[in-house]
Amino acid sequence: MSKIKLMSHLVAGYPTDELALTAARSLVKGGADILEIQLPFSDPSADGPAIQTACTKVLERKYRTADGLSFIKQIHSEFPEIPIYIMSYGSLIFTPGIREFCKKAAKCGVKGMIIPDLPFDFDEGLTAACKENGMVNIPVAAPSMSEERLHKLVHAGFPFIYAALRVGITGSDTKIDADTLEFLKKVSEGGSKVYGGFGISNGEQAKALASSVEAIVAGSVFVRIITKNQNDAAALAKEVEAKARELTGL
């Protein structure tokens, strides 16, 4: 079987800047094709306990958006060939001004934005600001959307759509069944490439999804590994790389 494309999620600065960099390097070494880097935020709307706790720990260090962008800039300088997407929440990018934020993000090497609480049709100018700066806005599709709204999104001409594979918070296991695959088929019918994630943590799930998506997305599984090994950088690096290899089939 050929390699499965992986978009892996990291919380910027968690648990420390150095360990977050170690994790990023291990993800790339393990075959991650895209890095989705979350700017910590205090009120996540879909994050499960692992990611919520990670964000809280980073924010307790008085971590700021500028610190997150510096972290991204460093990763981009080490791995210029790996696309980096920012994942965050609306108020964080709305406060400084969306156009201003997008300009800064692009300068740091960001290629796309995933902002779940800015709906695709009321995005406060995010799609336009991304285009102006050579980035893409990647809206989120969820199974809870009405058929009418989902149809509108998938035919809106976005290059990529992030498909949340189930309703609720991320972090617990997701069953890949006929309904999941049918949902992914609907999300891709407008021609957008689809990233599929939410509760993906093992190679079996990745294989079940691979032929229906552009890339699988895994996040909480890596955050849990990082949390478990935060006092042992070598073990952290080894386990993160091993999990990435399992998910990509390397």
Annotated active-site residue in 17, 18, 33, 36: 36
Cα–Cα distance measured from residue 195 to residue 213, given in angstroms and rounded to the nearest whole number: 6
User: Do residues 26 and 78 touch, judged by C-beta distance below 8 A?
Assistant: no
Residue 105 one-letter amino acid: A
**Token digits of residue 225:** 């590994």
Annotated active-site residue in 18, 33, 43, 47: 47
**Token digits of residue 203:** 């190679």
Alpha helices per DSSP H over the chain? 17-29, 49-60, 65-78, 90-94, 98-107, 126-132, 147-154, 178-188, 203-210, 220-228, 233-248
- Asked about 36 being catalytic, the answer comes back as yes
**Token digits of residue 226:** 């990082």
Catalytic residues: 36, 47
